[in-house]
Amino acid sequence: MSCAPPSSETPITSPVPAAVETVTKPALIGKNLEELTALMADLGEKPFRAKQLFQWLYVKSARKFEDMTDLAKPFRQKLADNFTVGPLTMVERQVSADGTRKYLFKTPTGQTIESVLMYFEDRDTYSICISSQVGCAVDCKFCATGKLGFKQNLTVADITDQYLAVQADAGKDIRNIVMMGQGEPMLNYDNVIAAIRLLNTAAEVGIRHITLSTSGIVPKIDALAKEGMQLVLAVSLHAPDDETRNKIMPINTKYPVAELMRSIKDYIGTTGRRVTIEYVMLKGINDSQWHAEKLAELLRGVKVNINLIPYNPIGDSYGFERPSNNTIMRFMETVMASGKKVTVRVERGSDIAAACGQLANQYIEKTSA
């Protein structure tokens, strides 16, 4: 598959021509090899059929049974009569001026979710941002997804199929996965962990190229430490003190900063893995020199990298603004002086509401207008 970056173009919206229908047949994507073997036995097929399917589904990203050319035609028909390839129906795609693609999917329950495909020249590779829930219950005040409220958890199949469907549609070899889309992954823990294992072992995405992001669900961070997974844990801190964090992240009233930091340190101690601290910068709220010094003090001696994320607007009515570049640079320099590696996230896809914090199924508004 090609690894050339998408060409820069005016943002476009492309409705997917196929009819959008709620999937009723069970999907094969989401099943591991053992489960596929059992399904094939139920159809009266031999175990090697499961291995063939496994390759077509997860390595070759086939989207139609008819494309599985080394399977006998009667067998392909039997599969089509009983199953679908994946559970998701692609409704629409948008392409940003910077080449970022945002996809709208419909789930078997009729809900909608979004996924984002990104290219970064400094890495010469593609990354996908995947959703774990429909909506979100955490309600971070600067995030559009939280305004949707929580609707349901996505299944293992729903999560896995986002990666496979986007890879097939875009024709790109996607080697990095970030669980930073819609929803709080740790509140759908079992399905997210199972999907990550499947993407790692079946789709052959390196575990160290998979990032799991959380707003700070302490019991689940503790549980993740025991999973033995060498993935990247990213924690959305966004403020170094309880007073500020309470205002913008209601979850802090349940898991305050001190408890969250205890969990992060325990996770690092157990896994030996460096944690990424995410910090959305909000003008006049968490971007002062005091906040920078407090953050540096809080993370002193802790094995973390820090990723500063300039606020991406989600609407004037929410009252947040992006800090000036000078403020961001001054904040970064203060934290870096403590010896920490600090980066500023490159904004991707903001013109199609695909940047961090902007996912809110805006396609629905545009296509129904």
Catalytic amino acids? 114, 356
Tokens 């009515």 appear where?
317
Strand pairing category for 174-179 and 125-129:
parallel
How far apart CA 111 and CA 109 sit, in angstroms, is 6
Q: What is the 3-state secondary structure (H, E, C) of 221-241?
A: HHHHCCCCCCCEEEEECCCCC
The angle formed by the CA atoms of residues 118, 121 and 126, to the nearest 5 degrees, is 35
The residue count for the chain? 369
Q: Is residue 344 a contact partner of residue 328, using CB atoms and an 8 Å limit?
A: yes
How far apart CA 201 and CA 273 sit, in angstroms, is 20
- For residue 176, the Cα-to-chain-centroid distance in whole angstroms is 10
Could you tell me which residues come within 8 angstroms of residue 296 by beta carbon, excluding any fewer than 6 positions away? 334, 335, 337, 338, 340
How far apart CA 331 and CA 292 sit, in angstroms, is 6
Tokens, residue 277: 């601290």
Tokens, residue 217: 């669900």
Neighbours of 57 (CB within 10 A): 25
How far apart CA 99 and CA 348 sit, in angstroms, is 8
Tokens, residue 211: 């990032």
Q: 126 forms bridges with which residues in the sheet?
A: 119, 174
How far apart CA 268 and CA 362 sit, in angstroms, is 38
Q: Is residue 102 a contact partner of residue 113, using CB atoms and an 8 Å limit?
A: no
